[in-house]
Chains A and B, each alone.
Chain A
Amino acid sequence: MVNEREHIDQHTKVITVKGVSKSFGDLDVLRGVDLHLFKGENLVVLGRSGTGKSVLIKLISGLLKPDTGTIEVLGEPVDELDEKALQLLRLKIGFSFQSSALYDSMTVRENLEFPLVRNKRHLSRNEINSEVEDVLDAVGLLHTIGQMPSELSGGQRKRIGIARTLILRPEIMLYDEPTAGLDPITCIEINGLINEVQEKYKTSSIIITHDLACAKSVGDRIVMLLDGSFERGGSFDEIFDTNDERVKPFYDYNFII
């Protein structure tokens, strides 16, 4: 059922989520979610607004704790780690936020340096500079190095956000709606970037999106979050081969109108 791409290692699971539930007060957001990510795979998570997609990857990166269930990332139980072990594990996970989350009191250069300076204290000034320029070049925004985040466009911020997570050379990338609110051309650029990142840095990724063009161009496998759990999974064509009223509108809106 999975697109057989050679970069996927079907024997190694880098993320395993089992029976995870999460509520906020009376609101049950996730109800028994199961999910796995193979090494080298691009997994797309689709779902309506408010179904808990962002909550899911916040659970995976340990920003939130699950009410029930277990989450394993690179063989370690995220919800049981102490603070120090969690910090070390997080260095292997890149998190690109829905809102980009650039530090707006810092320049682009300082934003990119921040994770490096704070986690790899042995690096020299020159090494840091060349790393920064390297990832900035990878996202095609070397000329913005001295600018403040407020001077950038939404698409540029997204790409800088991705660059900032790449700088620690993560093994896993979590993208929260990388193309939301961007024009079609920028979307295509971002999709290309996600694929390039995957090839260049050999990452495994979870990509959250509503955007089917994005899902189609980057996803090896797609899962759909419906009413708090994953009911459908498979390739792009398999997912939409249905009359389910909760699924069809996604396809219709993107491709028929």
Chain B
Amino acid sequence: MLNKIKRILIELGGIHRFVMRFFRELVRPPYEFKEIIKQCYEVGWKSLPLISLTGFITGIVFTNQSRPSLAEFGATSWLPALISIAIIRALAPLVTALIASGKVGSQIGAELGSMKVTEQIDAMEVSGTNPFKFLVVSRVLATTITIPILSLYTACVGLLGAYLSVNQHESTSFVVYFSQVFEAVSYLDIFSLVLKAVVFGYTIGIVGCYQGYNSSKGTEGVGKAANWAVVMSMFLIFVEEILIVQIIQGMRT
């Protein structure tokens, strides 16, 4: 356990340098638009089925679990407000990010890792293409752009799932449900959702790329890269979640 924490701290130093290089390469032309769009498709579109399912189920389960507590006070009419705040402020970005770090982060780590150990990254470099820009910058931008969009989508799907449950038990109509949902949610909540998702998306991309790009020789290195991409990005996502919530709370008052 102690070893793991030490490893994480050492990695953070390496990630810091990697991040600096990312910003240097990001602003310098040429820009790899085609590759960025391709990666957005890879990250966003291919995660849709899993995200849809998870978002929907989260909405239903959360509603069903919250109902008894509210029912004790005879306050089940507050359900839509409670659900919408929970989903938009906390659940949607977090669930999306955790799923994406498992699916997308590990995939990026494994892909770049195997390119590294089979010398494909070197081959790219000697044939006149900057591999950092082509592989890393495009992937990090793709996750930073798509995770917020996916999070908003997850929120919608989650609210729909919750509606199914509310409609069944409290027979609230669609219109009433959503007007209550939107009444409870402020612009700041939406802003915080997007802000978190941007930070999470960036984290997933940069950690996955960092692990893959620096993976050690051999197929074992590729497995480790994928594994560490998930462990590190989940760890960082929780830390960032706590920090951002503090900041947003400060803005609320």
Contact = CB atoms under 8 A, between A and B. Distances in A.
Interface string B120-132: 1011111111100
B126 A95 contact: yes
Contacts of B130: 83, 87
A114 interface: yes
Given A97-B119, A104-B120, A119 B128 contact: yes
B119 A101 contact: yes
A115 B119 contact: no
A91 B118 contact: no
Interface residues of B, number: 15
A154 to B, nearest CB: 13
A90 B120 contact: no
B142 to A, nearest CB: 15
B128 A115 contact: yes
Among B114, B115, B123, the one with the most A-chain Cβ atoms within 10 Å of its Cβ is B123
A101 B129 CA distance: 15
A91 B122 contact: no
A44 B126 CA distance: 21
Interface in A231-245: none
Among A58, A61, A63, A164, the one with the most B-chain Cβ atoms within 10 Å of its Cβ is A63
A15 B128 CA distance: 19
Contacts of B123: 95, 97, 101, 103, 164
Nearest to B119: A101
A249 to B, nearest CB: 27
Contacts of B124: 103, 114
B127 A114 contact: yes
Contact of A99 (B111, B118, B127, B128): B118
B129 A114 contact: yes
Nearest to B125: A63
Contacts of A104: 114, 118, 120
B122 A90 contact: no
The size bracket of the interface on A is: 20 to 34
Contacts of A165: 127
A90 B118 contact: no
B119 A99 contact: yes
Nearest to A93: B126
B119 A91 contact: no
B126 A102 contact: no
A115 B127 CA distance: 6
Interface string A72-100: 00000000000100011011010101110
A164 B120 contact: no
A106 to B, nearest CB: 10
A30 interface: no
Contacts of B115: 103
Contacts of A105: 111
A101 B128 contact: no
Nearest to B111: A105
A143 interface: no
A168 interface: yes
A208 B123 CA distance: 17
Contacts of A63: 122, 125-126
Contact of A98 (B119, B120, B128): B119
Contacts of B114: 104
A5 interface: no
A91 B115 CA distance: 21
A118 B123 CA distance: 13
A88 B111 CA distance: 28
Interface string A155-175: 000000000110010000000
A58 B127 contact: no
Among B111, B120, B127, the one with the most A-chain Cβ atoms within 10 Å of its Cβ is B127
A28 B125 CA distance: 25
A112 to B, nearest CB: 11
For the complex of A and B, list the 8 residue pairs with the smallest distance between their C-beta atoms, beginning with the closest.
A101-B123, A101-B119, A115-B127, A95-B126, A119-B128, A97-B119, A118-B129, A87-B128
Interface of B: 111, 114-115, 118-120, 122-130
Given A87-B128, A95-B127, 10 more contacts: A83-B130, A87-B130, A88-B128, A90-B128, A101-B119, A101-B123, A104-B118, A115-B127, A164-B127, A168-B127
30 contacts: A61-B126, A62-B126, A63-B126, A83-B130, A87-B128, A88-B128, A90-B125, A93-B126, A95-B123, A97-B119, A97-B123, A98-B119, A99-B118, A99-B119, A101-B119, A101-B120, A101-B123, A103-B115, A103-B123, A104-B114, A104-B120, A118-B127, A118-B129, A119-B127, A119-B128, A119-B129, A164-B123, A165-B127, A168-B127, A168-B128
